[in-house]
Copies of this chain bind each other. A is one copy, B any other.
Amino acid sequence: MRFAVLAALLGLALHPRPAAAQGPPDWAIALHGGAGTIARDMPAARAEGYRTSLGRSLDIGRRILERGGTSLEAVTAVVRSMEDDSLFNAGKGAVYTHEGTHELDAAIMDGATLGCGAVAGLRTIRNPILLARLVMEKSPHVLMMGAGAEAFGKSVGVETVDPKYFDTQRRREEWRKALEEDKTGTVGCVALDRHGNLAAATSTGGLTDKRFGRVGDVPVIGAGTFADNRSCAVSCTGKGEEFIRRTVARDVAALVEYKELPLREAAALVVHGKLRPRDGGLVAVSRRGDIALVFNSSGMYRAAADARGLRLVAIWDE
């Protein structure tokens, strides 16, 4: 029955692949800057600002992949650039917790080795994605949290900042007003490189006004972030709790690996058939270079490119 529903839902999935494509692309990349209630009547200049930022981050990844760089290098650089951009709820633009602080989470995964690194509850690390990568590469662990994660960061020389670095006028106002919009932003990137390897990376400032050391799906491998060369790389954004309980990123990969569903069918089945309406969305790239950009909220900041000339930047269903 789930598959009958799927057939009806597939029309909603985005199909960015050009019709004239021949053979799989030798690299592909997709990124998101959060999904949620994104007002269609946003001022044109603001929407243009988002598009420019998304395009700039996309091009950082595209250039790395074009010159034969690794997918791991590409997703790290893209997410790092979005963490440094105050438009997105990650790094610099992180939202406020209930206590008026910032607690950042990030994760990265290498589809070739299943190596992964994740960090939760950071307060002084400028680029959480760089610390996640160091956890993967310089520690025997995969998940570190809070002050312990920051102590590890210092021991391996990652850049730290005064917590004031994350104070931004816009996020402070959102927090004061408990604005619904952008409450659950995230940034993420997935890539396939010319060596045939997949990688995924995700970073977030979490949920506006969050309490009690709440951790969302981002640092939970298999929920917000997953990559496996046998199937695909996935980065999610939306209501984290729903993505954890449904192991969304792993579920898309499992449907590709075990049910042999095409990537876009798998992604649409999970986002439209399993998640609740308005929960969010995801970007994914398969080992064959297929790209899926799927969401069930009013919009998702997103961009994608591949070796066959695809270049897409979008916010709503457009």
Report whether B247 and A214 are in contact in the complex, using a CB–CB cutoff of 8 Å. Answer: no
Answer yes or no: A116 CB below 8 A from chain B CBs. Answer: yes
Given B141, B226, B251, which contacts A214 in the complex, CB threshold below 8 Å? B141
Residues on the B chain within 8 Å of A255, using CB: 258
Residues on the B chain within 8 Å of A216, using CB: 143
User: Which stretch (A56-64, A73-81, A217-225, A305-313) binds chain B?
Assistant: A217-225
User: Which stretch (A147-155, A168-176, A185-193, A286-294) binds chain B?
Assistant: A147-155
Answer yes or no: A215 CB below 8 A from chain B CBs. Answer: yes
Answer yes or no: A144 CB below 8 A from chain B CBs. Answer: yes
Answer yes or no: A211 CB below 8 A from chain B CBs. Answer: yes
Answer yes or no: A145 CB below 8 A from chain B CBs. Answer: yes
User: Which stretch (A24-32, A42-50, A197-205, A238-246) binds chain B?
Assistant: A238-246
Identity of the chain B residue whose Cβ is nearest the Cβ of A274 in the assembled complex: B114
Give 1 or 0 for each of A238-273: 1 = CB within 8 Å of chain B CB.
001100111100110011001100000000000000
Answer yes or no: A115 CB below 8 A from chain B CBs. Answer: yes
Q: Give min CB distance, A218 to chain B, whole Å.
A: 11
